[in-house]
Amino acid sequence: MNLSPFWVQFFADKGFDAVHWSQIGDPRAEDSMIMQWARSNDYIVFTHDLGFSAILAAGGQDSPSVIQVRSQDVMPEAIGTDVVDVLRQHADQLHAGAIITIDEMTSRLRILPIQRKPSSH
């Protein structure tokens, strides 16, 4: 919900199937409901919200994959090429379960489930 519906057509033009949550679900839905829908329907969550990654980290889940953008301008014209490059470059990891963070300078990949470091006493 926090990214423009313009992304749906942008992704379609690049050969990727996409839906905007506003087309299929309640705009007031909890993030966990969106995550469950994405998991059940084999979709990647594309977001500007850190909450989705936090849900995966807290629950030790291995899906759905999340691509989060950390940029001031989150429109396709500004970062679309970078997002498509990440989708193509990391397709196998996204299929298996991953979190990818994209910012203006780089992208970072974390494989799911996120392993917690053991606490030291």
- The pLDDT tens digits for 16-64 are 999 999 999 999 999 999 999 999 999 999 999 988 988 888 888 889 9
Domain layout of the chain by residue ranges: 6-111
Report the C-alpha gap between 75 and 48 in whole angstroms.
Answer: 11
Structure tokens given for 108: 């970072």
Residues 87-121: tens digit of each pLDDT: 999 999 999 999 999 987 778 888 878 765 555 55
Helical pair 31-40 and 51-59, crossing angle rounded to 10 deg: 70
Closest by Cα among 103, 102, 97 to 115 = 97
